[in-house]
Amino acid sequence: MIGSALSYVALRILGEGEEDGDGDGDGAIARARKWIVDHGGASSIPSWGKVYLSVLGVYEWEGCNPLPPEFWLFPSSFPFHPAEMWCYCRTTYMPMSYLYGKRIQGPITPLVSALRKEIHPTPFDDINWNKQRNNCCKEDFYYPHSFLQDALWHSLHYLTEPLLKYWPFSKFRERSINRVVELMRYESEETRYMTIGCVEKSLQMMCWWAENPNGDEFKYHLARVPDYLWIAEDGMTMHSFGSQVWDCALAVQAITASNMAEEYGDCLKKAHFYLKESQVKENPSGDFTKMCRQFTKGSWTFADQDHGWTVSDCTSEALRCLLLLSHMPKQIAGDKDEPARLYEAVNVLLYMQSPISGGFAVWEPPIPKPFLQLLNPSEIFADIVVEKE
């Protein structure tokens, strides 16, 4: 449902007609709409999709389980603090909590009004939105909510959210929104407006548009959209984020393993230079622990230096390449990297290693709190709440 509904809405926004089967169309719009309606309509889209549709105005925020931004104000000692969540999870729910906290919704245009009729089998104004909070299409229902989680969402929905509409509790909501904006701005600046991945990227762009459509943050985000685009054989596609370091490191190892280094000397020299330049040279600015970040100096990312997020296997593969290339003649591989840079990479890997099992986490040191998985609000993903080896 999440793929069908969001793709349907996107095609309609891009100009496809309601009945594309008439004329030169291939009937994709009509077939997609029939599938969506036959499977309960877009009100059964999983929670992540509910957020996107609520912002557009073809779903109501009352049909979403609470995403309170107040969680970001809890002290770091709190057992359910967002800083202990898996980084991709927390950076996704960070902008979601902003959108939910402010109930951001775009203008109700004729297209939005048409979509309200097309993707819901029940008239939009007659839908009981409260009953849709836990409504998920069975095709998407991969990870059921725990009893604890449902109890928490009901408590927040019926008790906490109504209070936050009134003074002085509304001041608490305002303060939490400001904290989320601070965290989003820090994340944007530290990743040169790439963010950690495409989901957060799109959510942050909606947040900054809501803050100020003419503001610098939104313009800077627009400038980094091409980093996510890829021209494939079947046209323009979008990936989760770039994989330049990963691809480069594996290609270098393949060439060196083939014993054809001399034939690829110019290629290896450029790859060597790229890997050296792509290493993260500094930690995130300021008090990065306060901003829910870890130290990164000496690491490699999945994409390039701008991305700024440590990936342990990319760091190990890039380090291995530098060690391999350091044994080759300068005319083939170029100048060696400074030993201090190699030591910094080893330091990152040791930091990422579990002292218990010896295994490695991907993005950040593993958090030994499996109970946090009980709060996984996503129906379509399992094991996304805490970092694992």
Query: Among all residues, which ones are annotated catalytic?
Result: 313
Asked if residues 48 and 379 have their Cβ atoms less than 8 Å apart, the reply is no
Q: Which of 53, 50, 49, 41 is closest to 122 using CA atoms?
A: 41
Query: d(Cα 6, Cα 46) in Å, to the nearest integer?
Result: 11
With a CB cutoff of 8 Å and minimum separation 6, the contacts of 41 are 119, 120, 121, 122
Integer Cα distance of 179 and 258 in angstroms: 52
DSSP string, 30-76: HHHHHHHHHTT-GGGS-HHHHHHHHHHTSS-GGGS----GGGGGS-T
User: How far is 164 from 101, CA to CA, in rounded Å?
Assistant: 10
DSSP H or E segment with residue 277: helix 265-278
